[in-house]
């Protein structure tokens, strides 16, 4: 932490090794503004100068890594470059939370939280709701731990254009990145600071044959939910391994679903085969498989508007469905195969 209080209760912000040396030489005593516990001045060569609790017992903070300390300094620099005033570690007593960096510009406030350590989705939701309760917008900026797409997904939020996005800070190279159009295996990434640039692809969209092989692997490892789906197919005298190719085509790879997209598409075919599909029924189908707790910052009603129609559009493009005023009707049924070999022999 960079902020403490002296014996008179005056806020002290530690910003350099030279300042830390002066404070040490002065012999003063310092305490945490949140818990009022005693803090030490740390002034080693491996980390920025900072204060640290003697006993690590403060509920408003936790031991900080070098990445976290340097990241807060960098975020303050980025905020100031954009015309904001930046203040470190502002404690909000009503919600017992300490803001990593609070930006102010006139009456506007913005909390920046630099997340480097593990944080469960329920705690993320609670902390975000705490800031909302205090009318403080918050942006979660992610450290190196969350470089992997799967790890960062819980922090996703919807951009103004409706696409999922996360923000990442590369402390080592001093760069702020935006990831947008987040999917389970790929996204678009662009640098926001210090040199804003165009987006480029990170990860890879799924390959058609690879998606088909995933069905085989899930059955091989006897995944409980996939085995139940296989039994549902058997009840219709169908083989899950021979599910139609359209199940794997143009997968949206939206995160936050309870099952792989191909599996939900098979379930959709079993549910709506041979009957007209209303927009409401289609939306209800996809809504029941949304793991809303997995992405607590997302407006799921808005997200569902993107997610729900995707498979129907794929079926329309394959000339299997045609739109109606209230939804879709079948033109022809998709082709099922006897097994994986017969299916691969007719790869589109």
**pLDDT tens-digit series, residues 56-110:** 667 566 678 889 999 999 999 999 999 999 999 999 999 999 999 999 999 999 9
Measuring CA to CA, how many Å separate 293 from each of 11, 30, 83, 209? 38, 40, 35, 31
- pLDDT given at position 161: 92
Strand partners, 203: 186
Cβ atoms within 10 Å of 68's Cβ, excluding its own: 21
Quick one: three-class SS letters along 26-64? HCCCEECCCCCCEEEEECCCCCCCEEEECCCCCCCCCCC
Condensed to tens digits (0 to 9), the pLDDT of residues 44-70 reads 878 888 888 887 667 566 678 889 999
Condensed to tens digits (0 to 9), the pLDDT of residues 143-172 reads 999 999 999 999 999 999 999 999 999 999
Residue where the block lists tokens 């705690």: 123
- pLDDT given at position 74: 97
Condensed to tens digits (0 to 9), the pLDDT of residues 283-317 reads 999 999 999 999 999 999 999 999 999 999 999 99
- Pick from 219, 281, 225: which is nearest to 257 by CA? 225
Condensed to tens digits (0 to 9), the pLDDT of residues 166-218 reads 999 999 999 999 999 999 999 999 999 999 999 999 999 989 999 999 999 99
Residue 175 CA, chain-centre distance (Å), reads 19
Going from N- to C-terminal start, the domains of the chain cover 1-62, 65-205, 208-344
CA dihedral 240, 243, 247, 249 (to 10 degrees): 130
- Pick from 47, 50, 57, 36: which is nearest to 100 by CA? 50
Provide the angle, in degrees to the nearest 10, between the axes of the packed helices 208-220 and 224-235.
Answer: 100
- Give residues with Cβ within 8 angstroms of 241, minimum separation 6: 215, 216, 219, 337, 339, 340, 343
For residue 15, what pLDDT band results from cuts at 50, 70 and 90?
A: confident
Q: Is the pLDDT of residue 29 over 90?
A: no
Global pTM reads 0.87
Running DSSP on this structure, what letter comes out for residue 333? P
Measuring CA to CA, how many Å separate 310 from each of 104, 250, 254, 287? 41, 9, 10, 13
13 versus 128: the higher-pLDDT residue is 128
Round to whole Å and give the CA distance between 77 and 24.
26
Round to whole Å and give the CA distance between 31 and 134.
25
For residue 17, what pLDDT band results from cuts at 50, 70 and 90?
A: confident
Round to whole Å and give the CA distance between 17 and 19.
5
- Give residues with Cβ within 8 angstroms of 305, minimum separation 6: 162
Average pLDDT, the chain: 94
Q: Average of pLDDT values for 327-348?
A: 96
- pLDDT given at position 86: 98
- pLDDT given at position 1: 84
Q: Average of pLDDT values for 23-39?
A: 84
Domain 65-205, CATH: 3.40.1350
Round to whole Å and give the CA distance between 281 and 40.
61
């Amino acid at each position: 932490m960079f902020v403490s209080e002296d014996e008179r209760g005056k806020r002290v912000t530690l910003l350099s090794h030279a300042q830390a040396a002066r404070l040490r030489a002065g012999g003063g005593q310092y305490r945490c503004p949140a818990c009022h516990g005693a803090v030490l001045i740390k002034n080693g060569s491996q980390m920025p100068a900072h204060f640290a609790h003697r006993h690590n017992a403060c509920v408003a903070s936790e031991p900080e890594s070098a990445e976290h300390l340097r990241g807060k300094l960098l975020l303050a620099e980025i905020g100031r470059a954009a015309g904001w005033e930046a203040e470190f570690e502002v404690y909000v007593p009503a919600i017992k939370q300490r803001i990593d960096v609070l930006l102010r510009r006139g009456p506007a406030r913005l909390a920046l939280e630099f997340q480097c350590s593990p944080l469960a989705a329920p705690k993320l939701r609670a902390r975000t709701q705490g800031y909302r309760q205090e009318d403080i917008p918050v942006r979660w900026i992610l450290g190196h731990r969350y470089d992997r797409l799967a790890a960062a997904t819980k922090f996703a939020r919807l951009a103004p254009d409706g696409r999922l996005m996360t923000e990442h800070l590369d402390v080592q190279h001093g760069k702020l990145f935006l990831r947008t159009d987040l999917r389970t295996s790929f996204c678009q990434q662009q640098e926001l600071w210090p040199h804003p640039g165009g987006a480029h692809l990170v990860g890879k969209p799924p390959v058609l044959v690879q998606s088909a092989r995933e069905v085989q692997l899930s059955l091989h490892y006897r995944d409980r939910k996939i085995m139940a789906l296989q039994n549902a197919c058997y009840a219709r005298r169908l083989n899950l391994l021979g599910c139609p190719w359209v199940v794997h085509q143009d997968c949206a790879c939206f995160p936050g679903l309870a099952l792989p997209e191909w599996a939900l598409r098979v379930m959709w075919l079993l549910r709506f085969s041979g009957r007209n599909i209303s927009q409401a029924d289609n939306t209800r189908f996809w809504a029941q498989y949304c793991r809303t707790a997995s992405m607590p910052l997302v407006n799921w009603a808005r997200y569902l508007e993107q997610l729900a129609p995707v498979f129907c559009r794929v079926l329309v493009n394959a000339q299997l469905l045609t739109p109606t005023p209230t939804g879709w009707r079948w033109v022809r049924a998709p082709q099922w195969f006897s097994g994986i070999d017969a299916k691969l022999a007719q790869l589109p």
